[in-house]
Amino acid sequence: MTRVWFVGFIVFSWTITESLSAQDAIKTNATQFLQQQQFVFQILWNQDELAQVNPDLVKKAKEFRVEDLRSLPLDLELVEVFIERYNNGLLARGQSATVFNSEHLAEIKSFYGVLASAQELAAFALVSLWSSQVLNEILWFYGFVIAVMQRSNTRNLRLPNLHELLPQYFFNNDAITQLYKAKSETCFEGMANETIIRAEYSKVVSAYYNDPESKISYFTEDVGLSEYYFFLANESPFWLASQQMTFPVPPRGERFFHDHQQIMARYNLERLSHDLEFTEDLDWDHNVVTGFLPNMADYNGQIFPSRSSNSPVPYYKYQELRMAKDFESRLTAAADSGELLSSNSTVYRAAELPTFFSHLMDAAQSNADSVNLDFYGSMETSGRRILGFNPQPRNKFIETISAMENYNAGLRDPAFYRLYKKIVDIGHRYKSHLASYRPEDISFPGVTITSVSSNDVDTFFDDFDSLVGRRSCSYYNRPIFFRQKRLNHDSFRLTIKVKSDYPVLSVVRIFIGPKQNARGLEIDISEARKYFFELDAFFVALPKGISMLRRSEDDFVIRAPIEEPSDVIYEKIKRALRDKNYPFEYYQQPYGWPRRLLLPRGKPEGQTFRILVSINPFKLDPLVSNPLIAGHWSIDGRPLGFPLDRPIDSHDFWRPNIAQGDMTIYFRNQKKTFGCTMCWN
């Protein structure tokens, strides 16, 4: 059900309307929930402890055979398909794997189908543990995580932090090498209780040493952003049809467009902090301008391939290249004509179908709801496989995986943003043919925003620790941490002064966007609208008279809950099981945009951004959804990105209910905390 935050009416003509938090923690002592939560952490985080807590389950899993699946409460048709595939030979353990390989994806879908069909939690646990010991590690991990996210009785379980489970996908080889070395060192009496390894960002992201992309490696390599993208992309996996999902999140294609448009907008705001131009186009007929030296390896030690700057596409990817160009051409034609050709030759017309845009972007993503998978193909899969520059596969099963084919590592590659600009531009192209919103669509008679203001904000780099391993000692397993500087910002508050002629329930949207381009020239809203990043959307009951709406970063609906290390969460689970007076806290939306990255870095001398606010009449959203991603819904049924999602005539856009103010962001290279100065060089 759509979440609603009501701010009550106050009789006085001058009121201060304080906002409620975006999402509050849910407290529970329910034993079954806590045991399920403990199992998820143990199977992913600490299987040694699982053997101590549940030896019977571990014994059953060791004795289990694939044929025993027939005796469990599972979908027997899916079980037979999986058993046949299993007996014919699956991808071996230790091999690289990706959902962007059709053979690997077929295995994932088969395994996921069995696991998701488990009617009882006991069967789910048994199949999960047995399969973790016999299937390819990455295919198992991915299928298990998707099953946890999709099943109704496991959906709200918190997963351990991915960057602590699979650090090789989030940190450079330099840090990973030190981690392996620390794990292998001999323990001795008197040694430190913990090992701290400094994890640095890439200073060189391509063979071109002065590549400007290295200036924003702290953003593209941020572990919080990479984790966010993994869950964003897999809340509705492209390979699952909506009717196969327990909790579909409609409108699917429109969300895919909006999600990636927002990532592109936030990426471009970070570029402006370094006087870098907005992202340039990727042209398949020319060399790939941006290079990439990942300095990373797969979980099995296989090095991720690199790509030199200004590289031609390898000859062995020409077939994939032709397909990508064909897919793009067909999608562009559909965007221009407003017509989609379905697989049964039915023509979907924009003039007749209100959801045409979402269908267009379903086809652009090539998800399982696409009207014609064969004809429109997958720009996403083809693009990732082309730009990854991995060598020719040895066979259809065994190949070297690139960072672009890994959901966690892909955002580190500058080509990621060029590819998704190309895909997002399909949606922009369609919308460029739409008329601007009519005055009655965006106006709110009787409601006027008289001012939008913000305090100046400091950004800085702060130390964060990630528990990535332990050194096994006979008397104590000593933790090993990666310590990394990550972009952060001071607290800030936005104040919106509103005058209403009557009491009315309203919807408020808040965006941050550019005021100037990289050359220091002020840009008009008609051009800048694509680069606005939506921070917040909430309901408010406006009383008659003047209201002061105040929102801090803690209120913003898109932000993730407070970051906690996996070992801290695990200890809280165990304590809640032991002590009924100590409830465990969880969130309905456990994943969201990292609160540290709500704002761009800014500049030492200060950089001014625009804060745009739109207030519109309340509309009931007829769609019911239960997203796992914070803020991942339209709260009132209007298009995602409204009112900036259509072409804007700047002379006719501004209304009394739409206003903007300035926010100046200062980058401070050091942050003083309790008299201690932490510097990032």
pLDDT confidence of residue 23: 66
CB burial of residue 346 (10 Å; 0-12, 13-18, 19+) = exposed
| Cis-peptide, bond into residue 583, ω within 30° of zero | no
419: domain CATH number? 1.10.1280.10
DSSP assignment of 124-155: HHHHHHHHHHHS-HHHHHHHHHHHHHHSTTTT
> How many other C-beta atoms are found inside a 10 Å radius of the C-beta of residue 225?
22
Both 567 and 604 in one domain: the answer is yes
**Which pLDDT band, with edges at 50, 70 and 90, does 14 fall under?**
very low
Instruction: Please identify, among 407, 433, 459, the residue that sits at the C-terminal boundary of a domain.
Output: 433
Answer yes or no: is pLDDT of 113 > 70: yes
| pLDDT tens-digit map of 466-486 | 999 988 876 678 899 999 999
Distance CA 358, CA 348 (A): 12
Give strand pairing partners of 607. Answer: 665
Q: Where are the beta strands (DSSP E) in 62-202?
A: 195-198
- Sequence-distant (≥ 6) Cβ neighbours of residue 234 within 8 angstroms: 145, 146, 149, 407
CA angle 417, 419, 421 (to 5 degrees): 65
Break the chain down into helix, strand, coil percent, rounded to 5: 40, 20, 40
pLDDT confidence of residue 625: 67
pLDDT confidence of residue 511: 98
Both 498 and 405 in one domain: the answer is no
Task: Give me 223's structure tokens.
Answer: 């572990």
| pLDDT tens-digit map of 495-509 | 999 999 999 999 999
Both 473 and 575 in one domain: the answer is yes
Both 454 and 428 in one domain: the answer is no
Answer yes or no: is pLDDT of 672 > 80: no
- Sequence-distant (≥ 6) Cβ neighbours of residue 646 within 8 angstroms: 431, 434, 435, 436, 437
Distance CA 26, CA 467 (A): 26
The CA radius of gyration of the chain, in Å to the nearest whole number, is 25
Answer yes or no: is pLDDT of 20 > 50: no
Residue type, 668: R
| pLDDT tens-digit map of 392-404 | 887 777 889 999 9
**Is pLDDT larger for residue 441 or for residue 9?**
441
Answer yes or no: is pLDDT of 16 > 70: no
Residue 438 domain-assigned (yes or no)? no
Identify the H or E element spanning 56. helix 55-63
Residue 184 domain-assigned (yes or no)? no
Both 426 and 457 in one domain: the answer is no
Identify the H or E element spanning 671. strand 670-673
Both 237 and 152 in one domain: the answer is no
Identify the H or E element spanning 612. strand 607-617
**Which pLDDT band, with edges at 50, 70 and 90, does 176 fall under?**
very high
Distance CA 223, CA 408 (A): 9
Residue 164 domain-assigned (yes or no)? no
Both 218 and 119 in one domain: the answer is no
**Which pLDDT band, with edges at 50, 70 and 90, does 249 fall under?**
confident
Both 392 and 478 in one domain: the answer is no
pLDDT confidence of residue 674: 30
pLDDT confidence of residue 387: 97
Answer yes or no: is pLDDT of 296 > 50: yes
153: domain CATH number? 1.20.1370.10
Instruction: Please identify, among 433, 462, 485, the residue that sits at the C-terminal boundary of a domain.
Output: 433
Distance CA 446, CA 450 (A): 12
Start-to-end C-alpha separation, the chain: 47
Whether the Cβ atoms of residue 610 and residue 513 lie closer than 8 Å to each other: yes
CA within 13 Å, CB half, 38: 23
pLDDT confidence of residue 6: 35
Whether the Cβ atoms of residue 131 and residue 111 lie closer than 8 Å to each other: yes
Region of poorest pLDDT, from 11-15, 54-58, 149-153: 11-15
pLDDT confidence of residue 233: 95
Both 458 and 426 in one domain: the answer is no
pLDDT confidence of residue 205: 62
pLDDT confidence of residue 280: 95
Which pairing describes strands 545-552 and 493-500: parallel, antiparallel, or unpaired? antiparallel
Answer yes or no: is pLDDT of 279 > 50: yes
Whether the Cβ atoms of residue 545 and residue 14 lie closer than 8 Å to each other: yes
| pLDDT tens-digit map of 321-372 | 999 999 999 999 999 999 999 999 999 999 999 999 999 999 999 999 999 9
Distance CA 216, CA 273 (A): 9
- Sequence-distant (≥ 6) Cβ neighbours of residue 357 within 8 angstroms: 253, 254, 257, 350, 427, 430, 431
pLDDT confidence of residue 15: 33
Both 360 and 472 in one domain: the answer is no
CB burial of residue 221 (10 Å; 0-12, 13-18, 19+) = buried
As a whole number, the mean pLDDT across the chain is 91
Answer yes or no: is pLDDT of 664 > 60: yes
Answer yes or no: is pLDDT of 679 > 50: no
Whether the Cβ atoms of residue 421 and residue 337 lie closer than 8 Å to each other: no
Residue 17 domain-assigned (yes or no)? no
Distance CA 358, CA 257 (A): 8
Answer yes or no: is pLDDT of 217 > 80: yes
**Overall domain count for the chain:** 3
Q: Mean per-residue pLDDT for 532-556?
A: 96
Q: Which residues of 178-187 are buried (b: 16+ CB within 10 A; e: fewer)?
A: bbeebeeeee
The boundaries of the domain holding residue 321 are 202-433
Q: Mean per-residue pLDDT for 531-552?
A: 97
pLDDT confidence of residue 2: 35
Both 470 and 415 in one domain: the answer is no
pLDDT confidence of residue 670: 60
Residue 253 domain-assigned (yes or no)? yes
Whether the Cβ atoms of residue 480 and residue 179 lie closer than 8 Å to each other: yes
Give strand pairing partners of 629. Answer: 591
Whole-number percent of the chain with pLDDT over 90: 82
Residue 15 domain-assigned (yes or no)? no
| pLDDT tens-digit map of 587-634 | 989 999 999 999 999 999 999 999 999 999 998 765 656 789 988 777
Identify the H or E element spanning 614. strand 607-617
Residue 32 domain-assigned (yes or no)? no
Give strand pairing partners of 105. Answer: none
Both 501 and 402 in one domain: the answer is no
Residue 12 domain-assigned (yes or no)? no
Answer yes or no: is pLDDT of 18 > 50: no
Distance CA 161, CA 566 (A): 6
pLDDT confidence of residue 10: 32
Q: Mean per-residue pLDDT for 641-651?
A: 95
Q: Mean per-residue pLDDT for 536-540?
A: 95
Answer yes or no: is pLDDT of 304 > 50: yes
Residue type, 235: E
Instruction: Please identify, among 399, 433, 467, the residue that sits at the C-terminal boundary of a domain.
Output: 433
CA within 13 Å, CB half, 681: 2
602: domain CATH number? 2.60.40.1520
Residue from 219, 222, 235 nearest 590 by CA: 235
Give the DSSP letter of residue 409. T
Distance CA 564, CA 395 (A): 42
Identify the H or E element spanning 103. helix 102-116
SS3 string, 560-607, reads CCCCCCHHHHHHHHHHHHHCCCCCEEECCCCECECHHHCCCCCECCCE
Answer yes or no: is pLDDT of 11 > 60: no
Q: Where are the beta strands (DSSP E) in 173-327?
A: 195-198
Check the CA dihedral 486-487-493-497 and report its sign: negative
Residue from 83, 72, 150, 149 nearest 111 by CA: 83
DSSP assignment of 461-510: EEEEEEEEEEE--SS--EEEEEEEEEEEE---EEEEEEEESS-EEEEEEE
